[in-house]
């Protein structure tokens, strides 16, 4: 060793022992300080600090130049000792003389210096790193070196140790005791302590890859070692927590390593914290832990769709199905799937536990041809990406069938009422359409189909020939429905004569006769009045008797005839039949048909008695605006009846009994006011 090498002298007073360790501390150190805490780690740190302090021994580090300076100036020597080692040593008398007279007073052998330097540096490093077990073991090794000092070295150490309270070096100085005996004497003043040295541990952690998607694998591994010798700790249990939830409890292998594979679950995207903890149960080891992290990103999804069959007509069922899967082909459960038809949302369905969905689509009222069915997954809380798919279906035109119901016999100057249904070949009602009605080959009107039902009423005029006819109902088809037609046979007859037939002419004749008779009675009364005047002018002396004149005879007759003239007037047979028919419809709850009849009767009345022509292109409101000036007597009633008709036939509002009765009353008012006019 060269002259610049540090000289190191260490005295660490603790008995040598294996783990667990029995040791002793000087009496002037209060043992309560070392045992006051229940934390074993803190207790060890406290004891190591005391063992390495100046009160537990002498720590001297000098190079050759320091020795030379110390020989020249004892004060400087003490300062160097204090600065380099943070110790306080009092030296008196012979110590100073001996330093001045001997140039090798503190000389250690090369081997001693190397050993002490190595141990000192390792002990300081272990202490600074809180490797308490290693520091204690180094201190024990250093003490063994101190025991092998030569006599000169022992003399100097003895002089310094003599400063301890109660230490007796007299026996050594007079040769009656050896240096080892001196150390044993000092040890008698110390208090025994028992402690178990716990080795420090170190846990490492590796998380790869740094991130992934739902279903990806994250590999978590590391090791548990003893830092003092880098050896692995086998058979130890480490706990792995992810996002503050325990994921696994792993036992280390023979090399102290652990491995865990984590499959990314169905969780929200973001960064997830990983921690590995070693918490010893019975091992003489200290706890340790390590931390890491990984991130979850949204996972790609695929959404399949199938339509079976991929064609059909109105009302047919198309079975839609598919699967929502993540990129690793795992079905996504409880996900919302939005189903659309031509970009219009139809419904939302949920996937089952396997990611499958199903929906039965009834083809609605749409044009025939190709249409697009869309499926879309829009994630809410799932760590998944948006996905969708489409497929095409072909909507075909549907066959239709008409059923027609009409009376087999009808009469001139009466209504022909036609009802029926328009359905598909699969017996589904056609929601809305228009049909044309023909009598033989002549079109007599149109009717609206409402949810499969239609109603039509036609006034048979005298221009319609008697005999057999054919009523044809024709549906011209539409974008979704194919045409169809149906017919029924009809015989038109003259209405049989009845007393009502002669009622009105008879009444007219009676009124004329009453008028004539009234004129005659009036003349007779005038003539009687003139005769009375003439009789009085003759100043007849005869007593006049009441003359039986025609006045008294005719007065009762006049009263009787007038009474006959003012008797109630019976309504026409046709109107009574119309009213009875309407009231019967109301009783049978055929309220729309009753309103329809009321409107058609009033409209036919207007068309019959005015020069206005009906046009299929006109709306009902336009027809009213056209005729209102020609029907001032009942234009208000006809306007109200038109509104009721439009509500009944063209709106979603329900028609109640009172509205149907109101329509009948409006029709009666129209007929009455038309008759007055």
How far is 397 from 375, CA to CA, in rounded Å? Answer: 25
Q: Which two tokens stand for residue 481?
A: 């429905």
**Whole-number pLDDT of residue 589:** 83
Q: Which two tokens stand for residue 478?
A: 């539409």
Cβ count within 10 A of residue 132: 26
- Any idea of the CA torsion for 447, 451, 453, 457, to the nearest 10 degrees? -30
Q: Under a CB-based contact definition with an 8 Å cutoff, are residues 478 and 451 in contact?
A: no
**Whole-number pLDDT of residue 254:** 94
- Closest by CA position to 47, among listed 124, 123, 135: 135
Delimit the domains of the chain by residue range: 38-197, 202-296, 303-395, 400-493, 574-675
Strand residue runs (E) in 63-153: none
How far is 608 from 612, CA to CA, in rounded Å? Answer: 9
List the alpha helices (DSSP H) in 162-213. 170-173, 179-187
Q: Under a CB-based contact definition with an 8 Å cutoff, are residues 198 and 286 in contact?
A: yes
CATH of 574-675 among 1.10.3470, 1.10.287, 1.20.120, 1.10.10: 1.20.120
How far is 482 from 495, CA to CA, in rounded Å? Answer: 40
Handedness of CA 261, 267, 270, 274 (dihedral sign): negative
pLDDT, one tens digit per residue, over 502-531 is 566 667 777 766 666 665 555 555 555 555
How far is 32 from 118, CA to CA, in rounded Å? Answer: 33
In the sheet that holds 453-460, the strands lie side by side as 400-405, 414-424, 453-460, 442-450, 432-439, 467-475, 484-493, 409-411
**Whole-number pLDDT of residue 402:** 92
How far is 371 from 605, CA to CA, in rounded Å? Answer: 49
Q: Under a CB-based contact definition with an 8 Å cutoff, are residues 265 and 214 in contact?
A: yes
Cβ count within 10 A of residue 18: 9
**Whole-number pLDDT of residue 657:** 85
Write the class of the CATH domain 303-395: mainly beta
Tell me, what DSSP letter sits at residue 384? B
How far is 464 from 108, CA to CA, in rounded Å? Answer: 150
Q: Under a CB-based contact definition with an 8 Å cutoff, are residues 627 and 610 in contact?
A: yes
Judged by DSSP in three states, 575 sits in helix
Cα 39 to Cα 42, 130, 284: the distances in Å are: 5, 14, 14
**Whole-number pLDDT of residue 252:** 95
Tell me, what DSSP letter sits at residue 633? T
How far is 255 from 263, CA to CA, in rounded Å? Answer: 25
pLDDT < 70 stretches in the chain: 1-121, 123-124, 126-128, 130-199, 282, 284, 328-329, 381, 497-506, 512-572, 616-617, 676-677
Main-chain phi, psi angles of 651, to 5 degrees: -125, 170
- Closest by CA position to 668, among listed 554, 576, 532: 576
Q: Under a CB-based contact definition with an 8 Å cutoff, are residues 195 and 43 in contact?
A: yes
Q: How would you classify the pairing of strands 400-405 and 414-424?
A: antiparallel
Cβ count within 10 A of residue 286: 19
- Closest by CA position to 187, among listed 158, 208, 167, 201: 167
CATH topology of 400-493 equal to that of 574-675?
no
Q: How would you classify the pairing of strands 409-411 and 484-493?
A: parallel
Q: How would you classify the pairing of strands 311-312 and 387-395?
A: parallel
- Please tell me the CATH code under which domain 400-493 is placed: 2.60.40.1930
Domain 202-296 part of CATH 2.60.40.1930: yes
CA neighbours within 13 Å on the CB side: how many for 38? Answer: 0
**Whole-number pLDDT of residue 438:** 93
Beta bridge partners of 446: 436
């Amino acid at each position: 060793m060269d002259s610049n090498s540090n000289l190191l002298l260490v005295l660490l007073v603790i008995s040598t022992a294996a783990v667990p360790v029995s040791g002793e501390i000087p009496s002037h150190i209060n043992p309560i300080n070392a045992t006051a805490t229940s934390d074993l780690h803190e207790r060890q740190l406290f004891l190591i600090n005391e063992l390495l302090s100046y009160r537990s021994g002498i720590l001297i580090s000098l190079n050759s130049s320091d020795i030379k300076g110390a020989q020249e100036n004892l004060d400087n020597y003490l300062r160097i000792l204090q600065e380099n080692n943070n110790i306080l040593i009092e030296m008196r008398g012979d110590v100073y003389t001996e330093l001045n007279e001997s140039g090798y007073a503190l000389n250690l052998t090369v081997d001693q210096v190397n050993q002490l330097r190595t141990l000192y540096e390792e002990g300081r490093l272990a202490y600074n790193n809180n490797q308490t077990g290693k520091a204690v073991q180094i201190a024990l090794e250093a003490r063994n070196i101190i025991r092998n000092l030569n006599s000169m070295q022992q003399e100097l150490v003895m002089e310094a140790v003599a400063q301890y309270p109660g230490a007796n070096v007299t026996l050594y100085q007079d040769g009656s005791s050896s240096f080892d005996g001196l150390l044993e004497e000092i040890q008698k003043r110390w208090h025994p302590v028992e402690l178990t040295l716990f080795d420090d541990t170190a846990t490492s952690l590796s998380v790869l890859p740094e991130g992934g998607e739902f279903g990806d694998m994250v590999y978590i591994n590391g090791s548990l070692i003893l830092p003092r010798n880098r050896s692995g700790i086998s058979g130890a249990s480490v706990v792995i927590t992810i996002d503050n939830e325990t994921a696994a409890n792993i036992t280390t292998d023979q090399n102290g390593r652990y491995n865990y594979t984590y499959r990314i679950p169905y969780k929200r995207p973001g960064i997830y914290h990983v921690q590995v903890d070693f918490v010893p149960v019975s091992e003489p080891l200290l706890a340790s832990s390590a931390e890491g992290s990984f991130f979850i990103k949204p996972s790609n999804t695929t959404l399949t769709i199938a339509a079976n069959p991929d064609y059909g007509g109105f009302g047919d069922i198309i079975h839609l199905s598919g699967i929502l899967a993540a990129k690793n082909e795992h079905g996504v459960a409880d996900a919302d799937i939005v189903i659309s038809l031509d970009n219009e949302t139809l419904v939302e369905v949920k996937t089952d536990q396997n990611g499958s969905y199903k929906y039965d689509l009834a083809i609605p009222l749409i044009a025939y041809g190709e249409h697009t069915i869309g499926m879309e997954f829009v994630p809410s809380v799932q760590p998944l990406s948006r996905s969708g798919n489409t497929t095409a279906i072909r909507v075909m035109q549907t066959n239709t069938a008409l059923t027609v119901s009409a009376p087999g016999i009808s009469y001139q100057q009466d209504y022909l009422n036609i009802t029926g249904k328009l359905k598909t070949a699969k017996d589904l009602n056609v929601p809305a359409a228009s049909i044309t009605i023909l009598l033989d080959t002549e079109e007599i009107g149109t009717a609206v189909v409402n949810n499969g039902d239609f109603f039509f009423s036609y006034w048979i005029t005298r221009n319609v020939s008697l005999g057999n006819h054919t009523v044809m109902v024709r549906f011209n088809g539409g974008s979704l429905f194919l045409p169809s037609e149906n017919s029924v046979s009809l015989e038109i007859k003259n209405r049989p004569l009845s007393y009502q037939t002669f009622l009105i002419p008879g009444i007219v004749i009676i009124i004329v006769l009453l008028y004539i008779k009234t004129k005659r009675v009036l003349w007779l009364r005038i003539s009687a009045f003139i005769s009375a005047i003439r009789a009085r002018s003759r100043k007849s002396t005869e007593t006049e008797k009441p003359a039986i004149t025609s006045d008294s005879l005719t007065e009762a007759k006049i009263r009787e005839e007038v009474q006959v003239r003012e008797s109630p007037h019976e309504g026409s047979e046709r109107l009574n039949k119309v009213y009875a028919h309407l009231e019967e419809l109301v009783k049978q709850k055929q309220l729309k048909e009753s309103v329809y009849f009321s409107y058609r009767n009033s409209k036919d009345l207007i068309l019959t008695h005015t020069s206005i022509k009906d046009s299929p292109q006109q709306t009902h409101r336009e027809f009213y605006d056209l005729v209102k000036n020609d029907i001032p007597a009942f234009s208000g009633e006809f306007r109200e009846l038109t509104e009721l008709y439009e509500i009944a036939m063209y709106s979603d509002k329900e028609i109640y009994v009172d509205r149907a009765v109101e329509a009948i009353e409006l029709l009666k008012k129209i007929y009455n006011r038309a008759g007055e006019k």
